[in-house]
């Protein structure tokens, strides 16, 4: 009797290779979502992503989709899906390609061109970036951009006095990177406006004022004259005026206000000039001849017109206006001491110089009287004193041709040896320090 054992073996085929694999990357999260068709006999699916330089990411799923969470930015990945059954695994699916989101650029550096108020933004490119966008937002929230396929781009026409917030993103055909960390930079400050200068004639200083320019951290004011004379002053950002000192007389200064920024400055020039007062006339001299004085002085820098004035101790005043360097005082009163000054004028100020006083000649003596002494054939002549006289001379002139005189420091003198019976004409002259008076009114006297 034979016993026959018959064995039965059931063979289960492995799962099929997944088909219809597709993948897409979320630009906001850099997560790749992979989907595929269901494979008969599959209990689990494994998704593998690998890059050319050895980076990889994977995920597993019991359904027909899976998210790859750890993609590295800027990398291109090849993705395959493998199905796993209870005993066997399928082969890899046909590969598909995905591109991770570009990497964020770094080392962003904004540089302001002070001359043109343009901004050059540079950066280190991020992997996967095909082009780059720099975004600038100013203090008012207004934005502008520039783009480049390289590592820098230029923005022109910046608004003055603004703080710009700058970031850069990298982009490819599908996605853009997160923006780089924001870097701040300041544009050129706005130039000062409504510049004016007010001169203090007494102190010889000028106060310069202006209207605030946005973005200024301080101000530097300069005044330059044609002969390279320079004056300057500074102020901080909260003070929009400063005082120029050491200004020279007789000059026209060009005034410039420079707004000092963080990296750049902005200059503005005052309309017109700062005109200083005239210089003091030099070498004033007075030449006097009876009743007339001639004043002269050097050419005076900045002096457009001159006023010469002579004022006596008694308040008598004589003036002369001229644009020349000399002036004449006619008809000065006798017996006076005149204080003389010359004032130089221009459109803003005046300056005065004085000379030594002018002493005019004495006035002719007044109230001349002559008394005769017949017994001695002599006469005594008297008169009132003349201001500024240092002496007197009395003259007697006889009709017979006999003449005599006497000199004295007093207001009288005696004359002797007169000719009898002769009519004498008597006059007196006052002697001055330089010039003498004209003769007094004469009186007649007859000798005994």
Q: How high is the pLDDT of residue 196?
A: 97
CATH of 369-446, one of 2.60.40.10, 3.40.1740.10, 3.90.1150.10, 2.120.10.30: 2.60.40.10
Q: In Å, how far are 162, 208, 236, 246, 306 from 251, measured between CA atoms?
A: 38, 16, 28, 12, 17
CA distance 251 to 228: 11
Q: How high is the pLDDT of residue 420?
A: 81
Structure tokens at 173: 């055909």
Q: How high is the pLDDT of residue 43?
A: 93
CATH fold match for the domains 22-99 and 369-446:
yes
Q: Tokens 């004495």 correspond to what residue?
A: 362
Residues 6+ away with beta carbon under 8 Å from 291: 330, 331, 332, 334, 360, 361
Structural domain boundaries of the chain?
A: 22-99, 106-186, 193-275, 285-359, 369-446
Closest residue by Cα to residue 320 from 331, 337, 332, 307: 307
Tell me which fold the domain 22-99 belongs to: Immunoglobulin-like (2.60.40)
Q: Tokens 């006035």 correspond to what residue?
A: 363
- DSSP-assigned states of every residue in 426-447: EEEEEE-SS-PPPPPPPEEEE-
Q: How high is the pLDDT of residue 34?
A: 97
Check whether domain 285-359 has CATH 2.60.40.10, yes or no: yes
Residues of the chain with pLDDT under 70: 1-12, 448
CATH of 106-186, one of 3.20.20.70, 2.60.40.10, 2.60.260.40, 3.40.50.280: 2.60.40.10
Cα 439 to its chain centre, rounded Å, is 69
Q: How high is the pLDDT of residue 250?
A: 92
CA distance 365 to 115: 84
Assigned CATH class of 193-275: mainly beta
Q: How high is the pLDDT of residue 229?
A: 85
Residues 6+ away with beta carbon under 8 Å from 106: 123, 124, 126, 180
How much is the pTM? Answer: 0.73
In terms of residues, how long is the chain? 448
State how beta strands 131-137 and 118-124 pair.
unpaired
């Amino acid at each position: 009797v034979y016993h026959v054992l018959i064995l039965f073996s059931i063979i289960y085929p492995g799962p099929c290779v997944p088909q219809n694999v597709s993948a897409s990357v979320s630009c906001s999260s850099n997560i790749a979502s992979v989907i595929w068709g269901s494979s008969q006999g599959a209990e689990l699916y494994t998704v593998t992503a690998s890059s050319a330089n050895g980076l990889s990411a994977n995920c597993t799923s019991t359904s027909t989709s899976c998210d790859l969470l750890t993609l590295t930015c800027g990398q291109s990945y090849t993705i395959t899906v493998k199905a796993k059954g209870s005993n066997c695994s399928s082969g890899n699916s046909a590969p598909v390609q995905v591109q991770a989101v570009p990497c964020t650029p770094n080392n962003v550096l904004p540089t302001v061109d002070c001359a043109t108020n343009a901004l050059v933004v540079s950066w280190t490119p991020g992997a996967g970036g095909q082009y780059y966008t720099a975004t600038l937002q100013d203090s008012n929230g207004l934005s502008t951009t520039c783009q480049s396929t390289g590592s820098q781009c230029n923005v022109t026409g910046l608004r003055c006095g603004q703080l710009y917030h700058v970031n850069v993103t990298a982009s490819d055909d599908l996605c853009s990177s997160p923006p780089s960390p924001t870097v701040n930079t300041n544009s050129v400050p706005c130039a000062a406006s409504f510049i004016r200068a007010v001169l203090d004639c007494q102190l010889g200083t000028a106060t310069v004022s202006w209207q605030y320019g946005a973005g200024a951290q301080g101000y530097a004011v300069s005044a330059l004259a044609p002969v390279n004379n320079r004056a300057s002053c500074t102020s901080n950002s909260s003070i929009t005026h400063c005082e120029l000192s050491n200004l020279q007389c007789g000059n026209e200064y060009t005034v410039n206000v420079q707004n000092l920024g963080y990296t750049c400055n902005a200059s503005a020039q005052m309309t017109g000039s700062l005109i200083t007062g005239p210089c003091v006339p030099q070498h004033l001299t007075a030449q006097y001849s009876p009743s007339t004085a001639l004043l002269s002085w050097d050419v005076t820098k900045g002096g457009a017109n001159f006023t010469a004035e002579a004022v006596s101790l008694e308040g008598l005043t004589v003036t002369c206006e001229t644009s020349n360097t000399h002036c004449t005082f006619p008809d000065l009163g006798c017996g006076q001491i005149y204080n003389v000054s010359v004032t130089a004028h221009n459109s803003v100020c005046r300056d005065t110089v004085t000379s030594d006083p002018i002493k005019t000649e004495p006035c002719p003596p007044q109230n001349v009287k002559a008394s005769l002494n017949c017994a001695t054939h002599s006469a005594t002549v008297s008169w009132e004193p003349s201001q500024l006289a240092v002496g007197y001379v009395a003259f007697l002139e006889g009709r017979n041709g006999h003449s005599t005189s006497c000199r004295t420091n007093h207001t009288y003198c005696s004359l002797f040896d007169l000719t009898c019976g002769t009519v004498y004409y008597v006059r007196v002259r006052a002697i001055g320090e330089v010039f003498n008076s004209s003769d007094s009114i004469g009186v007649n006297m007859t000798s005994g």
